[in-house]
Amino acid sequence: MARAVIKTQDNKAEIVVNRVFPDSTVKIEDDAIAIEEPLEIRIGFYNKGRLEHKAISITMRTPGNDFELAAGFLFTEGIIKSSAEIEDIKYCGKFGQPQNTVRLDLEPGTVIDFRKLERHFYTSSSCGVCGKSSIEALSTGADPLENAGRSMVTPAVISSLPDKLRTAQSVFDETGGLHASGLFKNNGELIELMEDVGRHNAVDKMIGGQMLKGNIPLDDKILFLSGRASFELVQKAVMARIPVIAAVSAPSSLAVDAARKFNTTLIGFVREDKFNVYTGNERISYEA
Query: Which are the catalytic amino acids?
Result: 127
A 10 A CB-CB count for 213 gives 11
Residue 19: strand pairing partners = 27
CA-closest candidate to residue 61, choices 53, 73, 76, 74: 73
CA distance 8 to 16: 14
CA-closest candidate to residue 269, choices 278, 260, 261: 278
Instruction: Kindly write down the DSSP assignment for every residue of 56-96, as one continuous string.
Output: EEEEEE-SS-HHHHHHHHHHHTTS-SSGGGEEEEEE-PPTT
CA distance 287 to 74: 40
CA distance 204 to 197: 12
Q: Give yes or no for a contact between 125 and 36, defined as CB atoms under 8 angstroms apart.
A: yes
Burial class (CB in 10 A: 0-12, 13-18, 19+), 22: exposed
- Residue 182, φ and ψ in degrees, nearest 5: -120, 135
